[in-house]
Amino acid sequence: MSEKIAFTIDGVTCKGEKGQFLVDAARDNGIYIPTLCNIPGVNPKSCCRICTVYVNGLPMTACSLQVFDGMEIINDTPALIEQRKIILEALFVEGNHYCPFCEKSGNCMLQALAYRFGMLAPRFPYTFPVREVDASHPKIIKDQNRCILCKRCIKAIKDEKGRSIFAYHRRGNKLRVHIDPKLALALTDELAQKAMDVCPVGSILVREKGYRVPIGQRTYDKMPIGSDIEVKK
């Protein structure tokens, strides 16, 4: 039986269990801390920094931080919202994110976060990098233009022997997520769909599955991301 603890988020007293990750504990209390690279149930890697909160005055990532008793967390301040917006804007200019014709538009977490934090146009100049689309696999397409290198697919998509289908390749600004061609041949339909769903942007696509949900019925068409958590409050 885990130990019950109490902490505060923006002055609101919350209850949680010792060892719980802060994003999960906040979610149980009806408070939304934005995440992008984090997947529930998979070890956090805190690489996108969108979930940064102030804990007793220090900036920390909420996805990898375990709650402890008496923690004072600041999550919702103009400065933090601005920091999150900066991360989103940087991600938008770093790749080629064409929302108007993206298959994932409306279901895209990056786009949904931009809606939530009120991004209208990025403050940074667009880089328009030259990146390839890898359409050589039978079940999935990997569009490197949209990849934000969040590692979600690497961490979550494994075959029955536990081998990763996706992997990092090269370093620095040449870093890409590549697909193992042999493992991709044996990819099942379910796993291919899971890979598409686990991708927060439209970088992994299942062949012949685009635009199935009409505009107006997609995940983030009606309500901002995180509002399903906040209704529990």
Partner 1 sequence: MSKPIVATASLAGCFGCHMSILDIDERILPLIDLVEFNKSPIDDIKEFTKTCDIGIIEGGCCNSENVHVLKEFRKHCKILISLGECAIMGGLPALRNGIPIGECLKEAYLEGPTVKNNVHKILPNDSELPMLLDRVYPCHEIVKIDYFLPGCPPRADLIWDALVALITGKEMKLPYEVIKFD
Q: Which residues bind partner 1 (CB under 8 A)?
A: 92, 96-102, 105-106, 111, 114-115, 120-122, 125-126, 128-131, 215, 221-224
Nearer to partner 1 among residue 6 and residue 90 (C-beta) = 90
Q: Are 117 and 86 in contact (CB under 8 A)?
A: no
Task: Kindly state the smallest distance separating residue 11's Cβ from partner 1, in Å.
Answer: 26
Residue nearer to partner 1 on the CB measure, 8 or 227: 227
**Using CA atoms, how far apart are residues 65 and 99, in angstroms rounded to an integer?**
33
- Smallest gap from residue 111 Cβ to partner 1 (A): 6
Phi, psi (rounded to 5 degrees) for 120: -105, -45
Q: Are 103 and 202 in contact (CB under 8 A)?
A: yes
**Residue 26 near residue 37 (C-beta atoms within 8 A):** no
Cβ-contact 218, 110 below 8 angstroms? no
Q: In terms of CB distance, is 9 or 113 closer to partner 1?
A: 113
Q: In terms of CB distance, is 99 or 167 closer to partner 1?
A: 99
Q: Which is nearer to partner 1, 16 or 122 (CB)?
A: 122
DSSP state of 158: B
CA dist 216 and 75 (Å) reads 30
Rounded to a whole number of angstroms, the minimum distance from the CB of residue 216 to partner 1 is 8
Q: How many C-beta atoms surround the C-beta of residue 65 within 10 A? A: 20
Q: How far is the CB of 51 from partner 1 (least distance, A)?
A: 22
Tell me which residue has tokens 């022997």: 161
Q: What is the largest CA-CA distance in the chain?
A: 53
Q: Least distance from C-beta 32 to partner 1, angstroms?
A: 15
